[in-house]
Amino acid sequence: MVTAGNALDNEQVSIPAYVSVTTDPISVTDLVRHVSTTHAGAVVTFSGDVRDNDHGRDVLSLEYEAHPTAQTILEKVVSQVAAKFEVEAVAVAHRHGPIAIGDAALVVCVSARHRGPAFDACSALVDEVKAQIPIWKHQVFADGTDEWVNCA
């Protein structure tokens, strides 16, 4: 649960939330289960998957390194963003450690009574997670070079 302000009347409400920074694989299906409710008419998901290329270069491997505060910061981001939208539930998981090409690195699921708030909240969560969470990406390219990126 996260405590967030109600977008309609500024009261504090508890919104069911699952928030995880983990080395374990992330299942979109499992996160959807965390947000499914009979009150919601919309469930929106985003899966940020590791791709085999970046800016025209072939990626051989990728690893995310998470700061010890990443979980706490992710919880705050979820609470802040959820307060801005009429959502029923939220689930966000971000992996760290080595991640295989094709695996999910960031998954965001949001349920709401209507699709508009669900899409808006999901998009805002992805943007804020990428902007605020202290996780660094290390990519190794096929040409033998590598790159550290200070984003999720």
Letter string b/e over residues 124-133, b meaning 16 or more CB atoms within 10 A of that residue's CB: bbbebbeeeb
Whole-model pTM?
Answer: 0.90
**pLDDT surpasses 60 at 3:** no
Which pLDDT band holds residue 150 (cuts at 50, 70, 90)? confident
Give me the pLDDT at residue 152, please. Answer: 47
The values of phi and psi at residue 51, to 5°, are -100, 165
The pLDDT assigned to 14 comes to: 84
Residue 77: is its pLDDT beyond 80? yes
Tell me the average pLDDT of the chain.
92
Range of the domain at 76: 2-149
The CATH number covering residue 128 comes to 3.90.1170.40
Residue-wise pLDDT tens digits, 23-75: 999 999 999 999 999 999 999 999 999 999 999 999 999 999 999 999 999 99
Domain count for the chain? 1
Instruction: Enter the DSSP assignment of 123.
Output: H
Distances (CA, A) of 19 to 9, 41, 91, 101, 121: 25, 22, 6, 23, 15
Is residue 12's pLDDT more than 90? no
